[in-house]
Amino acid sequence: MTTEQAHTETSVQAVRGMFGRDSIYLGLWAGQTVVATVITPVATRLLGPREFGQVYAAIAVMQVMVAIASFSLQTAVQRAFAEENGEAKARRLVMLSVLLATATFLIAYATGPVWSRGVGLGDFPLPVKYAVAWAATTAVSNAALGLVRSRDQLWWFALAGLMQSIVAAGLAIGLVLVGHRNAGDYLLGELLGQVLCVAVALFAARPALPSRSDIPMLVDALRYSAALAPGLLAGFVMDGSDRIVIHGDLGPSAVAKFAVARNIGGFITIFLIMLEVVWMPRLYALRDNPILGVVLRASRSGLLVLSVCLSVAVAMASPVILWAWVPRSFDPDHLLLVTALIAAMGVPLAAGQSFVQVLLLANRSASVSVAMIGSAVMNLALNLIVVPRYGIDGAAAVTLFSYTAQTVALWYFALGTGNLPSVRPSLLALIVGGAAICIVSSAIPVDAVAVIVRLLITAVATMLFSAQLLTFVGAQKFGRYSRLADSLRHLAISPLIDVDQQGEG
């Protein structure tokens, strides 16, 4: 076997690993998230538009606080684990995350009445207090789960994910039922579930106190991750600022309607976040390997195909999902445009994530932050102008535009690394076509015939999505169902063709 053939075989195995063993992590987490998301129809009916809107205004605060409290140390933990003596380094970084998150919580809680009034949420109400505590615990669990994932501790990872998704959702609904049916009860349940997640994650990660000799390592890790922190903060600001602006201009009921549509259309965003956690340890391990470029190209292509299929499926099925998701008081038929625009957002997000991988592996984390900060500032400015005039439809359009601009900026920076794989024209056509289908779907009339057509398109998109996953994992993973996998493989657009072409070239 020649060196080139050996590299090609190694590349194929690396990609199959990402979609094989790694797909188990993704499947567990996605399944938990789907089950937890199903509580939305229950929550909207128990809480009503006003209280549900307050929940998501507080969640927006939580997301911003996570970015501040975490210092993006999860990425530093996974990077350190791939280095020499990585286990010891990673355990000390997890302990650093505990200390930083605790300090951030104390400062945020002490100054809460000031900044809470400043963003229009009142005099630091109880739901916002719970959101601050939720953010601090999430920052800790993110770092700890980064180490758990790097060690490939599958069952501990699954158990921690169970606590912060299904158990947390159950506690939230349970407290709403036995309590006062308000936002505070709901958020307390989510917080308790997250506390259980932290307990499991820390027990599995076994953080260690750093010593004086660890200071250079900690400083280097913080330098790497802190460069990402402003970008992560900007990302959460971009994700949550629209809800805060809507809350200030249109009230909590409008926030509730926007949040519901964003939850449905934004499932692809959750999917992409999961992939980042699942894949990055494997990519860091290949950082100095000559096959890295081939693996990046293959994973990027597969990620885009999955994202386009999932975005189209969600956009097309949105009327049926909305009818089941919310009561008539939410006016679900008028949320189709918001849902379609947010679903289309998954396509540039997927492309952007592939560029982020290239930049992180090239130690250009600051470039990621620059792109995210620029798009967040644009997003906030446009929302302040657009929301008062066009309402939540305008906010959704601004979100799609801002994330597309962010992806363009990330592409420009990644281009400068010299490690950015090329894109096949057919894949570009799929990206543009998928985003266009999502947006146009909002104009389809909501009648019996149209709904049937929508569901048929959803079924096709879901079949292609499933076929692509089967292609990634490989028919050998399915035992007696291997024939089914083989029969669907021809439907998929396999990213492994990139690896094969690289080897042939």
- 198 φ/ψ angles, rounded to the nearest 5 degrees: -60, -40
**Which pLDDT score, from 0 to 100, does residue 498 have?**
43
Helix (H) or strand (E) holding 475: none
In 163-214, where does DSSP find H-type helix?
Answer: 168-178, 183-205
Residue ranges in 71-125 assigned as alpha helix (H): 73-81, 86-110, 112-118
For residues 273 and 399, the answer to whether their CB atoms sit within 8 Å is no
Residue 107's contacts (CB-CB under 8 Å, 6 or more residues apart) are none
pLDDT at residue 283, rounded to an integer: 67
Give the whole-angstrom CA distance, residue 300 versus residue 15. 11
DSSP codes, 380-431: HHHHHHHHHHHHHHHHHHHHHHHHHHHHHHHHHHHHTTT-PPP--HHHHHHH
Residue 51 has what pLDDT? 84
The Cα–Cα gap between 342 and 438 comes to: 9
CA dist., res. 260 & res. 83, Å (int): 42
- List the pLDDT tens digit at each of the 505 positions of the chain: 455 444 444 444 544 545 555 556 666 666 666 666 667 778 877 887 788 778 877 887 887 888 788 887 888 888 888 888 888 999 999 999 999 999 999 999 999 888 888 777 778 889 899 999 999 999 999 899 989 988 888 889 889 988 988 899 889 999 998 888 888 899 999 999 999 999 999 999 999 988 888 888 888 888 877 766 677 677 767 776 777 788 777 877 787 788 777 777 666 666 666 665 566 666 666 666 666 666 777 777 777 887 888 888 888 888 888 887 777 777 777 888 888 888 888 888 888 888 887 887 777 878 888 888 888 888 889 988 998 888 888 988 998 899 899 989 998 898 887 777 677 777 778 888 888 888 888 888 778 888 888 899 999 888 887 776 666 555 444 444 445 444 444 444 444 444 434 433 3
Record the tokens describing residue 320, joined without a space: 């049926």
- Please say whether the beta carbons of 196 and 166 come within 8 A: no
Residues 6+ apart with CB under 8 A from 9: 1
Per-residue model confidence (pLDDT) at position 470: 65
Give me the pLDDT at residue 70, please. Answer: 82
Tell me if 241 sits within 8 A of 225, measured CB to CB. no
Domain residues of the chain, as ranges?
1-35+257-505, 38-210
- Contact in structure between 467 and 488 (CB atoms under 8 Å): yes
